Amino acid sequence: LPLDTLDVVVLLVLLLGTVAYLSKGTLWAKTETPTDYNKSLQSTAKAGKTRNLIEKMDESDKNMVILYGSQTGTAEDYASRLAKEGSARFGLKTMVADLEDYDYENLDCFPHDKVAVFVLATYGEGEPTDNAVEFYEFIYNGEPNFSENASEKPLTNLKYVTFGLGNNTYEHYNAMVRRVDESLTKLGARRIGPAGEGDDGAGTMEEDFISWKEAMWAELAEDMGLEEREAVYEPVFAITERDDLTPEDDTVYLGEPNKNHLEGKSVGPYNTHNPFIAPIALSKECFTVKDRNCIHMEIDLSKSNLTYTTGDHLAVWPTNAGVEVDRLFKVLGMEEKRHTVIDVKGLDSTSKVPFPAPTTYDAIVRYHVEINATVSRQFVASLAAFAPTEMAKEQMTRLGSDKDYFSEFVTRRYFNIAQVLELVAPGETWSQIPFSIIIEGLNHIQPRYYSISSSSVVNNKVPTITAVVESIAVPGGSNVLKGVTTNYLLALKQKQHGDPSPDPYGLTYAITGPRNKYDGFHVPVAIRSSNFRLPSDPSKPVIMIGPGTGVAPFRGFVQERAALAEQGQTVGKTLLFFGCRKESEDFLYKDEWPEYKEKLGDAFELITAFSRDGDKKVYVQHRLAEYAKEVNELIQQGAYFYVCGDAARMAREVNDVLGKILAEQRGLEEEKGHDLVKRLRSSNLYQEDVW
Ligand code: FAD
C-alpha cells in the first residue's frame, strides 16, 4: 500500500526517536566549550533582548556604558564600581554591560554626548577573556564594517575610556586593552583620560585602579561638563523579604545555580555558566607532611556529555566555609534572619542579578558571594556611612582614604570584609549596612581552574586534578588566609575518607550542598578547553618544566605518551623537569613515574630539583641549565617546550634560561637566544600554562 503523508511523518518520528534512544544523545552531544556557550548565549540574547547597545542605552536613558571583558570577575567588579561611582558622584546615568551581550557594527552611531568605558582583562598569552573574544575579533583582528559610516575614521563620534587588567610577568602585558585602545584611536574615536593599566604581577591592581580613576573622572567631568556632588549610596538591587515563602518551598533557590538544577533535572550543555554536579570517584593526599596538603581528585563525568582533551582545565565551584558565612551574618546582625526568603531585583533594566531568586540570605553568602577575598579600599570607604559608632566611622574613612594605613591594617593581614568590620568596631553589629551593598560591592563567586592531570587517551571520562591547599599564615599570628576552593576540596577529601579530625581553624562546609544535592561526594565542575597541547605526532620530542603543582598537566602528558608507547607507537624523547621542597615530603606522583619509565624506556627522563634537601637550593631552572646541550639538540629536532606553574617567577626565569642556553649552545649573542625563544613561542613550540 502507498504511504500517505501522515504515515511518512509518523515513521520519520519513530525512526528519529529510535536513533535518539540508541545513540543516547551522542549524535548531537558535543563537548561544550566556552565558545559554544557564547553562541548559545547570543542566540538567547537575540531571542529575548536587544543586542543593539545604542538602542538599549536610549531605551533605558543611559549616558555612560561600562563594558567589561572579565574572566575571574575582577574586571566585572571594577566595571560595576565605576558605574556606581559615576552615578553617585557625577549624576551620570550608568549601565554595566557584558561585552558578549551586544553587537558592535553600529558603534559609529554612538552619540557624541555619551561615553563608553572599556574595562578589559588580558588572559593568558595576551588573549581576550572568553566573553570578549567576538568584540576583539571585530575591533582588532578584523576590518570592522560599520553600519552607516564607511570612512577611514568611522568612530569620530565615540568618546571612550579604558582600563586594563594585566600581569607584567606575562610577555604580552595588558595586550588586550592596548590593542583595543589602538584600534579605537585608529578608527577615529577619542579617548578621555589616561589609558589605565593595573598590574596583578606587581600586586598593585587595586591601587593602580584607584589612582587611574581619579585622573580619569577629573578629565571626564571637564569634557562632559559634569559637576561633582556628595556621593550617596544608591542601591542597584531591591531586596524584598518574602513572608509567603519558606526555604522548604521548591521554588526557592538554596544555592542551586539555575532552574534546571533547582528542579532536579540538571541538563547540559555544561559549561562555565552551568556546572555539572560530578561524583568524586577518588580523592587522596599527595604530601606526606602534616602541615601542608595537596589533593589528588578524580572526577567522574560519565553521567554527563562532558569530555576533555589532555591539557584542558577543570573549573571547580567552591562553597564558602561555614565559619566565614557565620562571621559575616554575626557582624551584620543578621543571624536571626539568614534563612528568610528574599527576592532580589535589579532596580533598572540594565542591572543583572548575579544569581537566581527567590533565595535566602544564607544561600547568597554561602554560594554566590566572595566573602573571603581581598577587600577593596573603595568598598571600605563606602561602608563608613553605615558604621555603628562615630569612632568606627572615622576609622573606616581613614582606611578608605589612606592607602598605606589600609595596606598595613587590611591587605597585609589578609583580612576579609567581616574581619575588617569586627576589628573596626569590636563587639558592635553593623546592622545599618544594606544587604544590597554586600551583593554589589563583593565579587560573585567564580569557578577556580585546575590543569587536568590525566590523559584523555587513557580515560576521557575521569579527569583528575592536583590542587595544593592554600593556607598562608600572616607573620605574627594575626590571621591565616585559607583558600576558598582548595580548603573546600580538602574538606571533601577528609569527609570521603571518614577523617573525623576537625580543621584546626574551624572550617566547616555545607558538603552535601543545597537540599543535599551534592550528597555522596559531589562537586560542581565544568571543562574549559585550552591551547596547551601535546604535539599531534607523538614521535616529536617534548621538554616539560613543571615544579610543584605545575607538574599537573605533565602527569597527563607522560601518561598519554606511555599509553601510546604501550600501543606500539613511536614516542619521542620526553624530558620532564620537576621540582619541590623535599623528596620525602612533596614529590608529586613519586610512585607513578617509574611505571611510565617502564613503558617509555629511554624515551622518558625525569629530572628532579629539591630545594630543601641539600645545602644549596636547587630549582628546575638550574637543572635545565645543566641539560643545556641536550635541550638545544632536542629543540633543533623540533621539540615542543612546555612550562606550567608559577607565573610570577619560575616561568619568567625558565624563559630567560632557555634564551641563554640557545645562545650559548649556538654561539650567538644572548639577545639572539631570546629572539629564538620568541620565535618558538609564536610558532607554538613554546607553550605555557601558568597562573
Ligand atoms: P582563593 O580563596 O581564591 O585565594 C587565592 C589567593 O588570593 C590567595 O593565595 C591570596 O593571594 C589571594 N587572597 C584571597 N583572599 C585574600 C584576602 N582576604 N586578602 C588578601 N589576599 C587574598 N592550582 C593548583 O593547585 N593546581 C593546578 O593544577 C592549577 N591549575 C591552574 C590552571 C589555571 C589556568 C589557573 C588560572 C589556575 C590554576 N591553579 C591551579 C590555581 C587555582 O585556580 C586557584 O587559584 C588556587 O587553587 C587557589 O584557589 P582558592 O579558592 O583555594 O584560593
The interface predicted TM-score of the complex, written ipTM, equals 0.99
Active site residue 286: no
Question: 472 - beta bridge partners?
Answer: 481
pLDDT tens column, 348-374? 888 889 999 999 999 999 999 999 999
For the chain, which ranges sit under pLDDT 50? Answer: 1-3, 5-6, 8-10, 13-47
Q: What is the pLDDT at residue 657?
A: 98
Integer Cα distance of 250 and 138 in angstroms: 44
- pLDDT value of residue 48: 55
Residue 577: per-residue pLDDT? 98
Q: Looking at ligand 1, which atom is closest to the CA of residue 528? A: 34
Main-chain dihedrals φ then ψ at residue 187, nearest 5 degrees: -85, 5
Residues near ligand 1 with C-beta < 6 Å?
313, 318, 372-374, 414, 416, 448-451, 466-468, 470, 481, 483-486, 549, 552, 691
* Tens digit of each residue's pLDDT (9 = 90 or more) over 173-208: 999 999 999 999 999 999 999 999 999 988 899 999
Q: What's residue 504's pLDDT?
A: 67
N-to-C CA span, the chain: 69
Q: Which residue has the cell 610543584?
A: 548
Is-catalytic flag, 453? no
What are the residue ranges of helices labelled H in 117-204?
133-136, 175-186
- β partners of residue 237: 346
Task: Please check whether residue 53 is in contact with residue 97, taking contact to mean a CB–CB distance below 8 angstroms.
Answer: yes
CB 321 within 8 A of CB 484: yes
Cβ atoms 547, 646 nearer than 8 A: yes
**Which one-letter DSSP state was computed for residue 451?**
E
Q: Is 691 a catalytic residue?
A: yes
Residue appearing with cell numbers 549601565: 95
User: Which residue has the CA at smallest separation from atom 21 of ligand 1?
Assistant: 374
486, 527, 531, 557, best to mutate for ligand 1 pocket (most atoms within 8 Å of CB)? 486
Q: Please identify, by atom number, the ligand 1 atom nearest to the C-alpha of residue 467.
A: 25
C-alpha 477 to ligand 1 mean position (Å): 21
How do strand 276-285 and strand 294-299 relate by DSSP bridges? antiparallel
SS3 category, 581: coil
Predicted local confidence at residue 16, as pLDDT: 47
Helix (H, G, I), strand (E, B) or coil at 618: coil
Contacts of 426 (CB under 8 A, 6+ apart): none
For 289-318, give the DSSP string. Answer: SSS--EEEEEE--TTSS----TT-EEEE--
User: Which of 351, 376, 451, 471 is flagged as catalytic?
Assistant: 451
pLDDT at position 502, please?
A: 67
User: Is residue 593 annotated as part of the catalytic site, yes or no?
Assistant: no
